[in-house]
Structure 1
Amino acid sequence: MEPFCRGRYRARLAATPEDLRACQRLRWLAFVARTGQPDDGQALDADALDPLCRHMLIEEIATGAPVGCFRFLPLAGGGQIGRSYAAQFYDLGALARFDGPMVEMGRFCLHPDCHDPDAIRVAWGVLGTIVAAEGAEMLFGCSSFAGCDPDAHSDAFAMLCARHLAPRRWHPRVKAPDVFRLARALRLRQPDPRRAMAAMPPLLRSYLAMGGWVSDHAVVDHALRTMHVFTGVEIRAIPPARRRLLDALSA
């Protein structure tokens, strides 16, 4: 895959061990540093799935400085979904019946000092290229909220429960030992739409705008101090206007 350039940024596949380490270092800074873990300047976020995935590095063209990354795992169909990262935390037996190519996107992050929305646009542009190249019919992953207190995410969780739950045929069931049922947030309050959308992680907002859906529960990850929901997007169900935007970003 050729590098994907837009404005100040370039997205390219990690091609060397040094590239992979740059991704893993960036992930540590984004996901682990905020938990208070000591940093010797060499700490990495790495796991057993890294060797199975391809890794995308987003960097400033002028300096080569890494500003973002994500990894992706193409699957031939739902029969392979047990290989995914998400399958560690969710019972995805229903999605095992999905009969088209799939791509799991994970570990998406930006450097803590990067607040430029153009970097996210570049990520979505290259993701559109990946979806087209793989012929993917479903995009999925885990969308994380910072912090393990469900009250802090109550508007967002209530909104997800009210409007964006997975179709029954693809419903992810509980597997992890510690989960929060989104219906509890909806029972306690009606969501304020503006506050709820503001509290959504940027990537999840983009998924939802494309017709994405989520699990009916959030998994509590105490190690990273996050709560995440399974998120899926059926490519054929993306509204036409949003599909044209995705195609334009990847053109």
Structure 2
Amino acid sequence: MPELREHRYTARIGRTSEDCHAAQRLRALTFLGDARGLDQDAFDDICTHILIEETRTGDLVCCFRMLLLTGGAEIAQSYSAQFYELSALAVFEGKMAELGRFCIAPGRLDPDILRMAWAAMTRFVDDNRVEMLFGCSSFHGTETETYVDAFAMLRERHLAPQHWWPRVKAPSVFRFGQSLRWHKPDLKLAMRHMPPLLRTYLMMGGWVSDHAVIDRSLNTLHVFTGVEIRAIPATRKRLLRALAG
């Protein structure tokens, strides 16, 4: 993926160990509240790291990593497979990419950061001919009460197709598909508490698991999220590719 640049932000692939450490520092700050440590795991060595930097200062404002799979037969090698039983996706024949550890620097509220991130994702997907994008979409904190309307809306409108259904694997989960079947969501509250990354997935026709994993190590609730590239509405594809240049 070549460097993407607009007047305020630049997106590029991390090439050096220092690039990787910069991403790990931002992840530690965002997920763990640790301003000095590193958030790292074994997947860092096999992923492509994408950095979004403020062009003028060089400050890292967003990062994420992409794991490229040749097809569903490799799904068990993904980060998500640690938490979700994904055998239904093993028959998917096209290339897949797992988006992980997405974070924006605390206090950075400019929506252009997210737009630049999606431009970089789009370029990566197109360059590698990816046919499904997937990953874990995180809600901050592990208390479910704040997100009841968001989860109820996911249950009502955005559950995975039966043939790709992610099943329970993690020991600690919130089964909102069952527990919220009688809860009518307040759509304004639902969208207010929906993570921006997940909101964009849904606008592209994305779908989610019927349960959220309670991940106390990262202080998050997350749902498995997938989107088939061919299912993205044509107008949305044109917008994303315009962003990607």
User: TM-score normalised by the shorter chain: which range applies?
Assistant: over 0.9
Give the structure 2 partner of residue 14 of structure 1. 14
* Alpha-carbon contact 1:84-1:104 (below 8 Å) kept: yes
Distance 2:122 2:179 in 1: 33
Give the structure 2 partner of residue 131 of structure 1. 125
* Alpha-carbon contact 1:86-1:142 (below 8 Å) kept: yes
Q: What code does the residue aligned with 2:101 have? A: R
Distance 1:5 1:69 in 2: 15
Question: How many residues of Structure 1 are paired with residues of Structure 2 in the alignment?
Answer: 245
**Structure-to-structure mapping, 1:62-101, within 5 angstroms:** 62-101=56-95
1:151-205 deviation line (CA, Å, top 9, x unaligned): 1110000000000000000000110001111124523520011110111100000
Distance 1:246 1:185 in 2: 36
Find the residue that maps to 1:94 and give its secondary structure: helix
Q: Which runs of 5+ in 2 are unaligned?
A: none
Find the residue that maps to 2:159 and give its secondary structure: coil
* Alpha-carbon contact 1:157-1:185 (below 8 Å) kept: no
The answer to whether 1:4 aligns with 2:9 is no
Match of residue 155, structure 2, among 148, 154, 161: 161
Distance 1:224 1:238 in 2: 30
Distance 2:203 2:7 in 1: 24
Give the structure 1 partner of residue 116 of structure 2. 122
**Structure-to-structure mapping, 1:42-57, within 5 angstroms:** 42-57=36-51
TM-score computed with the length of structure 1 as normaliser: 0.95
Q: What code does the residue aligned with 1:16 have? A: T
Find the residue that maps to 1:191 and give its secondary structure: coil
Distance 1:127 1:187 in 2: 34
Give the structure 1 partner of residue 103 of structure 2. 109
* Alpha-carbon contact 1:181-1:218 (below 8 Å) kept: yes
The answer to whether 1:152 aligns with 2:140 is no
Give the structure 1 partner of residue 32 of structure 2. 32
TM-score computed with the length of structure 2 as normaliser: 0.97
Q: Mean Cα displacement is larger for which, 178-187 or 5-14? A: 178-187
Match of residue 235, structure 1, among 224, 229, 232: 229
Distance 2:31 2:65 in 1: 14
How far apart are residue 226 of structure 1 and its match?
0.9
Runs of 4+ in structure 1 over 3 Å off: none
Q: What code does the residue aligned with 1:32 have? A: L
CA RMSD of aligned residues (A): 1.0
**Structure-to-structure mapping, 1:170-249, within 5 angstroms:** 170-249=164-243
Find the residue that maps to 2:243 and give its secondary structure: helix
Distance 1:184 1:146 in 2: 22
